[in-house]
Chains A and B, each alone.
Chain A
Amino acid sequence: DAKTTQPTSMDCAEGRAANLPCNHSTISGNEYVYWYRQIHSQGPQYIIHGLKNNETNEMASLIITEDRKSSTLILPHATLRDTAVYYCIGRSKLSGTYKYIFGTGTRLKVLA
């Protein structure tokens, strides 16, 4: 059961790096960690995912600890448009099928 724990909210100054932590101590060895974000009034948007190695794409970087019990999403130069709720999710097998369980996420506010 890939339960995740995230801080409720964070602030970040515009232009600075935003580091969003996530604990997922119960994640299975072969399960990915996914990050999504939800900008107000829109559906969630996929950002990045990883298994063991650190990952980087055009949106963000993902740092996963060696024991895979936690990860950090890094937005290297946060802009006002990055203000959103960020979800760290894992996949859980419930009632025979795999599902993604979204918690309440971290509400990131980028400040001018």
Chain B
Amino acid sequence: GAGVSQSPSNKVTEKGKDVELRCDPISGHTALYWYRQRLGQGLEFLIYFQGNSAPDKSGLPSDRFSAERTGESVSTLTIQRTQQEDSAVYLCASSNWGGGAYGYTFGSGTRLTVV
């Protein structure tokens, strides 16, 4: 597609439930990033995929968070046993080489609300 697509755009879930967020990167982009943005805050790095290399998971805040990516295509971010502090906008970005000079293209994000 022409841009990075994220779904759903909005998700309301009950505390304790699991959620899955999806990101479709730009075709051919080898690098994919997930960020979290709480209300009024900057972007918080979560995880980074580059080609077939092992993902950099250093930003995941707890073991309730996990992400997968199949090859250089779709990625899913899973949050298990959601907590209210997980409420945020989750942004996905892709890049055509390892975060290099042409920057990222971001999706519009998934707004997650845990009630």
Contacts and interface: CB of A to CB of B under 8 A. Distances in A.
A84 interface: no
Interface string B71-101: 0000000000000000000010100001101
A105 B109 contact: no
A36 B91 CA distance: 14
B58 to A, nearest CB: 4
A100 B45 CA distance: 8
Given A97-B56, A99-B56, A49 B42 contact: no
20 contacts: A32-B101, A34-B103, A36-B103, A43-B109, A44-B91, A44-B93, A44-B106, A46-B103, A46-B105, A91-B99, A95-B56, A97-B56, A97-B58, A99-B45, A99-B59, A100-B33, A100-B99, A100-B104, A101-B45, A105-B42
Contacts of B33: 99-100
A99 B43 CA distance: 12
Nearest to B53: A97
B4 to A, nearest CB: 8
A96 B42 contact: no
Most central of B43, B48, B58, B109 by chain A CB within 10 Å? B43
Q: Closest 7 A-B residue pairs measured CB to CB?
A: A43-B106, A102-B43, A95-B58, A46-B103, A104-B42, A97-B56, A102-B42
Interface residues of B, number: 25
Contacts of B59: 99
Contacts, number: 58
A102 B103 contact: no
B108 interface: yes
A87 B35 CA distance: 14
Interface string A20-59: 0000000000001010100001111110010000000000
Nearest to A48: B103
A94 to B, nearest CB: 6
Nearest to A100: B99
Contacts of B48: 97, 99
Contacts of A46: 102-105
Contacts of A42: 108-109
